[in-house]
């Protein structure tokens, strides 16, 4: 079982030729859909056919009803705190090259407190894999991962959005795996130049940076259409033979990259929970394929594909 702790947002999406600059007014096409990093990841995990629970906070509104409806359709067990605040929202701009810019309003997500998380310790401690992000309060994320880590679960933190300051040691010590992108890795490593082209660094140098970000665990740096970079602590190779390596991206005719990182994280955790006997590299390979295929569909949660479609597209099965 995978237990995801995180956010649900109602996404408001504008598609335009180029992303707007300050003071600029552009024409675009509008749509709306379900999202939030936590929910996207939970839907991805559930659609991979793995028993999945999602701990979140929702308002009493149409957005919350939407979350419950889609969770039920995807066989996702929703565990929601009732908030007096509106369900979270996000404004998303997507350009013709599938690049995006996103602005979020936490709303009910800010009410996911450590007390509610503690009330659901059984789900967290009974999971094989627990996944969290940073769109909900840090104390709650820390509580969830510490409960799961203490019970022997594999704990995964997707440190997104990029933290404004260094994450507390109590949180990082509870992580088996972290999955930053380039910007997020720069925030996790003190004194690293945030403008550095991380994907262009030599492997040994990038591995050393990852060891500084999480000395005791595994770091998977997502690099968009350059795939990802995996860095293990020497004592925790998770079935791999090498301490570090790159995994190639799968080709895709991308129309919308919104949620691609969430697709990667949800698929990675589903694979880790369902196929624990495999080397870590094979879990990463599945996650790369799943994320690539998600970019060929519009939207966030609704773009999370069926694993059979991914298998047909890339010849890689989730069994």
Q: Indicate the annotated binding residues for substrate.
A: 9-11, 36-40, 135, 262
Phi–psi pair at 114, nearest 5 degrees: -60, -30
Q: Residues near 18 by Cβ (< 8 Å), separated by ≥ 6?
A: 26, 95, 96
Which of 191, 240, 262, 306 is an active site residue? Answer: 262
Annotation marks residue 262 as catalytic:
yes
At residue 103, what are phi and psi to the nearest 5 degrees?
A: -125, 130
CA proximity to 155, closest of 272, 240, 262: 272
DSSP per position, 287-313? HHHHHHHHTTSSSSGGGPPPHHHHHHH
Q: Which residues are annotated as part of the binding site for ATP?
A: 181, 222-227, 261-262
User: Measured in Å, how far apart are the chain's first and last C-alpha atoms?
Assistant: 15
Query: Closest Cα partner for 142 from 5, 270, 42?
Result: 5
**Binding residue ranges:** 9-11, 36-40, 135, 181, 222-227, 256, 258, 261-262, 294, 297, 299, 303
Q: Which active-site residues does the annotation give?
A: 262
């Amino acid at each position: 079982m995978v237990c995801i702790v995180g956010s649900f947002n109602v996404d408001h999406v504008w598609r335009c030729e180029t992303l707007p600059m300050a003071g600029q007014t552009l024409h675009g096409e509008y749509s709306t859909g379900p999202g939030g990093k936590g929910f996207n990841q939970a839907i991805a995990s559930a659609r991979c056919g793995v028993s999945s629970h999602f701990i979140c906070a929702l308002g009493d509104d149409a957005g919350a009803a939407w979350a419950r409806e889609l969770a039920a359709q995807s066989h996702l067990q929703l565990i929601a705190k009732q908030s007096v605040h509106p369900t979270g929202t996000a404004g998303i701009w997507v350009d013709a090259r599938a690049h995006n810019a996103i602005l979020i309003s936490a709303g009910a997500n800010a009410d996911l407190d450590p007390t509610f998380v503690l009330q659901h310790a059984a789900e967290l401690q009974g999971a094989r894999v627990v996944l969290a992000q940073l769109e909900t309060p840090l104390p709650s994320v820390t509580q969830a991962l510490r409960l799961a880590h203490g019970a022997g679960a594999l704990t995964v933190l997707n440190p997104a959005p990029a933290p404004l300051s260094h994450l507390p040691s109590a949180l990082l010590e509870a992580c088996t795996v972290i999955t930053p992108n380039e910007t997020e890795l720069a925030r996790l490593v003190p004194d690293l130049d945030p403008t550095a082209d991380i994907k262009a660094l030599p492997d040994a140098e990038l591995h050393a940076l990852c060891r500084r970000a999480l000395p005791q665990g595994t770091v998977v740096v997502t690099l968009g259409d350059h795939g990802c970079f995996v860095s293990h602590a020497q004592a925790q190779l998770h079935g791999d033979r090498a301490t570090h390596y790159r995994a190639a991206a799968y080709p895709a005719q991308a129309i919308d990259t919104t949620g691609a990182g969430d697709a990667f994280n949800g698929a990675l955790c589903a694979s880790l929970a369902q196929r624990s006997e495999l080397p870590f590299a094979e879990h990463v390979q599945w996650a790369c394929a799943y994320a690539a295929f998600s970019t060929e569909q519009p939207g966030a949660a609704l773009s999370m594909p069926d694993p059979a479609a991914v298998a047909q597209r890339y010849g890689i099965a989730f069994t």
